[in-house]
Chains A and B, each alone.
Chain A
Amino acid sequence: MSKGIRTRKGATIALNGEAEKIIKEYESSPSFALQPDDFFALTPKLLVKEGATVKKGEAVFFDKNNPAIQFVAPVSGQLTQIQRGAKRKIEALIFSPKGGDVVQHKTSNWEKIERQEAIELLLNSGHWPFISQRPYGTIADPSASPKALFISTYASAPLDVDFDFLLKNNKEHFQTGIHFLRKLVPDIFLSVDASFSGFFENIEGAKIVPVKGPHPAGNLSVQIHHLAPLNMGEVAWTIRPEDVVNIGLFLEKGVYSSQRTVAVAGSAVGAPQYFKTTIGAQLGGILDLAEVQKDQYNRIINGDVLTGKATHENAHLGYFNNLVSVIPEGNQYRMFGWLPFVDNHIPSLSKTSLSWLFGRKKFDVDTNLNGEERALVVTGEMEDVFPMQIFPMQLIKACMIGDIEKMEALGIYEVVPEDFGLVDYANTSKIEAQEIIRNALALMIKEVG
């Protein structure tokens, strides 16, 4: 076991509505969706037409920039609808489940195959998109030679899940997945919560890294930064814990595995708990089971409250997220709410609020912006929630003006938008840091590649 990572900067925002440790099965979703926007900078090319009948694990579209990367149907049934947005951009492929046809792969010999065969197996079976790469946070390029694979089981974001609990029935599959992934990369770093690492502690084939510290210590960027910082030209791969299990399940059965266990949490949830379902399941049914309050406007988020994507109850679960957060919308006025030391029920990292003193230990939050966007004035507050040797404000400014050389010099290769979730939250000027970084990364992909 390595000596681990200890960070001090950042903040753990304790919110009401944490998921109880109960896992319910939810298999009755009326439809499933694949949403290309869950993958950064992906341009999908369709392989099937609307109305086609597909088997579970059958390729339905591929990555235009890297045709080897295929995306497969999460269930067998019919591709009932292709939802398109502006400029006919594909927003979602909607499947309605029917029958049990599956695409079968031969995986019994997985222990003996070489690296290249292993990569092909993942590509052909549709499991490749589970693997992301740094820099940029895009789907991994199968031809790259990464320096290591990083997995974080320490989820530090507000209301985030407990992976030890979430994967408690999949311990062997996780181990199988790690053994298999070990073929692809020279090193696997598996980070665990330093205070309780659960079954991950006994996983073989990976370097166990205990991590201690407030959010965003659980973010992979922070961990990579401390373990093996990415230099220009280097590549690291990342994968989420449940997708290691999916690969393990696939190796056992030879069938595409799209298991997704999600926690539904947040103050607008009556019975916050975990649900075991499938990637892209419809949210409505899950939200009903979790008793989400219906007498108010809610913000339903695929992911955590800092970095997730807003969605609605008729939409579908995202590809990666293990958390669905539901909090009330905050579209109300607060009279004289800008006065210091008032409205202490709103959690604040600033000492101009007494929330740290009088506030409850756990907070109810809503989506009010609590102010308006202003010029960048206050300094130092971004650094306080950014546990890396990077100047966040200077990097954001370089990104705003699109100065690629400066972005490179200041460390753009080491970050992804999610690292700026707390910066978004904490900054006085209400600057949309995640969006700025996302646009900058898109620019980097276009200009540098």
Chain B
Amino acid sequence: MNFLRKQLDNLKRPFAKGEKWERFAPAINAFDTFLFVPNHTTAKGAHIRDAVDLKRTMVTVIIALLPALFYGIYNTGYQHFIQVGEPFTFLEAFLHGAFKIVPMIIVSYVVGLTIEFAFAVYRGHEVNEGYLVTGMLIPMIMPVDIPLWMVAISVAFAVLIAKEAFGGTGMNILNPALTARAFAFFAYPTYMSGNKVWVSEATNVDAISGETILGTLAAGQQVNYSMFEMFQGAIPGSIAETSTLWILVGALILIATGVGSWRIMVGGVIGAAVMGFLFNLWGANALMSFNWMNHLVVGGFAFGIVFMATDPVSAAQTTQGKWIYGILVGVFCILIRVFNPAYPEGVMLAILLMNVFAPTIDHYVIQSNINKRKKRWAATQLKTA
């Protein structure tokens, strides 16, 4: 460890203050702090600090994503082999998926981190760790066969327009990962919807039935999956959103570590369940009569509410606000699913919509606190008058 430390210190010398490459210090620091928590001590304020930092928080989210990711990789292979009708082993399915998905993750990280590093150097701040999560999320919510250059462009759009244009990490209004998906969805619709995109290499096979469940319902057809299959996730869909089971494992990690807001998750489930139940009562078409419990396990709802809606920057920030925000995400998700069959999945647009309204929700929550204080003040004015 000491040897490594010495090498790093030597390596960093030209990046020190007043040296040749001072401007690029954030880039080298990002690598250095990845290996070592720096030796910085408190200079002002509290003399002792919690062990938690943004790196630790973000890495916790990545750990929570891993179960869903691994299942997604396996499911990619599984869907491919059962659709083409070839016999396969678990390992073959996993390798097939890994072969597709690992390049997407690499592209996402390379493009996104390059932009992040460039902005950190340009603005003279350290590289924020937020992209570690965003960069993992983006491939996980894409269809498997999307070309890599589209992933790259979506990532660039999300980081530049959704994040850096607003001032960088902590300032963005929209969730960057969902912005990437929304960009791809509207820019390359043929790669993002339909019945050919959800199964790996489906275009090579003629008689494919790789429609997602929500797509099937929107087309007014019967669904041939049992609720357990939907829950367990052996269904076509975006890479890592299909398995509610493994997403729940991630949710438990997020809630247990306190990194993800349980209020938003529970609020979202309540909102979606109530909305789904009301539509069940109405029951005018196939989507409306789709059991409300099934609504919770199909499509990207689970993934969205656990990993996307809980993004602390774009979500509501006050405790009450989180409840309202979560419930409304659930409500709008089901509303969009049922009323707008052109968008079979509503969770992406529901979260983006609520991202826009989150500051408004917070505004009213905070305003009520301000009003209480004003009232208290007014009461004393009356007394003294």
* CB-contact partner of B51 in A355, A377, A391, under 8 A: A355
Name the distance in Å between B224's Cβ and chain A's nearest Cβ.
41
User: Could you say which residues of chain A place their CB within 8 Å of the CB of B34?
Assistant: 338
User: Could you say which residues of chain A place their CB within 8 Å of the CB of B49?
Assistant: 368-371, 424-425, 430
Residues in A141-161 with C-beta less than 8 Å from chain B: 158
Identify the closest chain B residue to A431 (Cβ): B45
Q: How large is the interface on A (under 10, 10 to 19, 20 to 34, 35 or more residues)?
A: 35 or more
Q: Tell me whether A306 and B53 are in contact in the complex, defined as CB-CB below 8 angstroms, given that A331-B39, A333-B38 are known contacts.
A: no
**A338 to B319, Cβ gap below 8 A?**
no
A331, A333, A434 interface centre (most CB from chain B within 10 Å)? A333
Q: Is B56 an interface residue (CB 8 A)?
A: yes
Name the distance in Å between B70's Cβ and chain A's nearest Cβ.
18
Q: Is A327 an interface residue (CB 8 A)?
A: yes
Q: Is A374 an interface residue (CB 8 A)?
A: yes
- Contact flags B246-285 to A (C-beta < 8 A → 1, else 0): 0000000000111101000000000000000000000000
B256, B261, B369 interface centre (most CB from chain A within 10 Å)? B369
CA distance A422 to B46 in the complex (A): 8
**A410 to B45, Cβ gap below 8 A?**
no
Stretch of B15-23, B122-130, B332-340 at the chain-chain interface: B122-130
Identify the closest chain A residue to B53 (Cβ): A371
Stretch of B168-176, B188-196, B204-212 at the chain-chain interface: B168-176
CA distance A380 to B57 in the complex (A): 14
Q: Is B83 an interface residue (CB 8 A)?
A: no
- Contact flags A299-335 to B (C-beta < 8 A → 1, else 0): 1010001111010000000000000010101111111
Q: Is B5 an interface residue (CB 8 A)?
A: yes
Main SS of chain A's interface residues?
loop
Name the distance in Å between A296's Cβ and chain B's nearest Cβ.
13
**A410 to B370, Cβ gap below 8 A?**
yes
Stretch of B91-99, B147-155, B230-238, B372-380 at the chain-chain interface: B372-380
CA distance A288 to B312 in the complex (A): 48
Q: Is B33 an interface residue (CB 8 A)?
A: yes
**B46 to A352, Cβ gap below 8 A?**
no
User: Could you say which residues of chain A place their CB within 8 Å of the CB of B376?
Assistant: 229, 231
**B41 to A338, Cβ gap below 8 A?**
no
A327, A330, A383 interface centre (most CB from chain B within 10 Å)? A330
**B380 to A350, Cβ gap below 8 A?**
no
CA distance A420 to B44 in the complex (A): 12
Name the distance in Å between B219's Cβ and chain A's nearest Cβ.
40
Name the distance in Å between A434's Cβ and chain B's nearest Cβ.
4
Identify the closest chain A residue to B130 (Cβ): A377
Q: Is B223 an interface residue (CB 8 A)?
A: no
User: Could you say which residues of chain B place their CB within 8 Å of the CB of A232?
Assistant: 377
Q: Is A365 an interface residue (CB 8 A)?
A: yes
User: Could you say which residues of chain B place their CB within 8 Å of the CB of A301?
Assistant: 47
Q: Tell me whether A352 and B60 are in contact in the complex, defined as CB-CB below 8 angstroms, given that A338-B33, A429-B54 are known contacts.
A: yes
**B47 to A367, Cβ gap below 8 A?**
yes
* CB-contact partner of A350 in B50, B369, B373, B374, under 8 A: B50
CA distance A428 to B59 in the complex (A): 13
**B5 to A411, Cβ gap below 8 A?**
no
Q: Is A347 an interface residue (CB 8 A)?
A: yes
User: Could you say which residues of chain A place their CB within 8 Å of the CB of B289?
Assistant: none
Identify the closest chain B residue to A158 (Cβ): B48
Q: Is A379 an interface residue (CB 8 A)?
A: yes
**A409 to B55, Cβ gap below 8 A?**
no
Name the distance in Å between A318's Cβ and chain B's nearest Cβ.
14
Name the distance in Å between B42's Cβ and chain A's nearest Cβ.
5
Q: Is A372 an interface residue (CB 8 A)?
A: yes
CA distance A383 to B365 in the complex (A): 14
**B126 to A410, Cβ gap below 8 A?**
no
Q: Is A393 an interface residue (CB 8 A)?
A: yes
User: Could you say which residues of chain B place their CB within 8 Å of the CB of A371?
Assistant: 37-38, 49, 52-56
**A367 to B312, Cβ gap below 8 A?**
no
Q: Tell me whether A411 and B373 are in contact in the complex, defined as CB-CB below 8 angstroms, given that A339-B59, A424-B46 are known contacts.
A: yes
- Contact flags B159-193 to A (C-beta < 8 A → 1, else 0): 00000000011110000000000000000000000
User: Could you say which residues of chain B place their CB within 8 Å of the CB of A393?
Assistant: 317
* CB-contact partner of A332 in B39, B372, B373, under 8 A: B39
* CB-contact partner of B36 in A234, A337, A343, A348, under 8 A: A337
Identify the closest chain A residue to B374 (Cβ): A409
- Contact flags A345-385 to B (C-beta < 8 A → 1, else 0): 01111111101000000000111111111111111100100
* CB-contact partner of B41 in A13, A349, A368, A432, under 8 A: A368
Q: Tell me whether A369 and B169 are in contact in the complex, defined as CB-CB below 8 angstroms, given that A351-B256, A428-B57 are known contacts.
A: no
Identify the closest chain B residue to A420 (Cβ): B45
User: Could you say which residues of chain B place their CB within 8 Å of the CB of A65?
Assistant: none
**A305 to B312, Cβ gap below 8 A?**
no
**A380 to B319, Cβ gap below 8 A?**
yes
* CB-contact partner of B45 in A299, A335, A394, A424, under 8 A: A424
Name the distance in Å between B118's Cβ and chain A's nearest Cβ.
17
CA distance A127 to B33 in the complex (A): 51
Identify the closest chain B residue to A436 (Cβ): B45
Q: Is B342 an interface residue (CB 8 A)?
A: no
Q: Is A421 an interface residue (CB 8 A)?
A: yes
- Contact flags A384-414 to B (C-beta < 8 A → 1, else 0): 0000011101100000000000000111000
* CB-contact partner of B56 in A340, A366, A376, under 8 A: A340
**B36 to A335, Cβ gap below 8 A?**
yes
Q: Is A281 an interface residue (CB 8 A)?
A: no
**A372 to B380, Cβ gap below 8 A?**
no
- Contact flags B3-23 to A (C-beta < 8 A → 1, else 0): 011000000000000000000
B57, B59, B376 interface centre (most CB from chain A within 10 Å)? B57
Q: Is B102 an interface residue (CB 8 A)?
A: no
- Contact flags B356-385 to A (C-beta < 8 A → 1, else 0): 000000000010011011101100100000
User: Could you say which residues of chain B place their CB within 8 Å of the CB of A339?
Assistant: 56, 59
CA distance A427 to B53 in the complex (A): 8
Q: Tell me whether A374 and B169 are in contact in the complex, defined as CB-CB below 8 angstroms, given that A333-B36, A367-B41, A369-B42 are known contacts.
A: yes
CA distance A349 to B57 in the complex (A): 13
**B130 to A391, Cβ gap below 8 A?**
no
Q: Tell me whether A377 and B170 are in contact in the complex, defined as CB-CB below 8 angstroms, given that A337-B36, A352-B57 are known contacts.
A: yes
Interface residues, chain A, with chain B CB atoms under 8 Å away: 13, 158, 229, 231-234, 299, 301, 305-308, 310, 325, 327, 329-340, 343, 346-353, 355, 365-380, 383, 389-391, 393-394, 409-411, 420-422, 424-430, 432-435
Please list 28 pairs of residues, one from A and one from B, whose beta carbons are closer than 8 Å in the complex, sorted by A's number: A233-B377, A234-B380, A327-B48, A333-B37, A335-B4, A335-B37, A336-B36, A338-B33, A338-B34, A338-B37, A338-B56, A339-B56, A347-B51, A352-B52, A370-B37, A372-B33, A372-B38, A374-B129, A374-B169, A375-B128, A380-B319, A383-B319, A391-B318, A410-B369, A424-B49, A425-B49, A429-B54, A435-B45
Name 10 extra pairs, CB < 8 A, besides A368-B40, A377-B170. Answer: A13-B48, A305-B46, A310-B47, A346-B51, A348-B52, A374-B128, A375-B168, A409-B373, A411-B373, A425-B49
Interface residues, chain B, with chain A CB atoms under 8 Å away: 1, 4-5, 33-42, 44-57, 59-60, 63, 126, 128-130, 168-171, 256-259, 261, 312-313, 315, 317-319, 322, 366, 369-370, 372-374, 376-377, 380
- By Cβ-Cβ distance, the 9 closest A-B pairs, closest first, are A371-B53, A375-B170, A337-B37, A424-B46, A338-B55, A350-B52, A346-B51, A333-B36, A348-B51
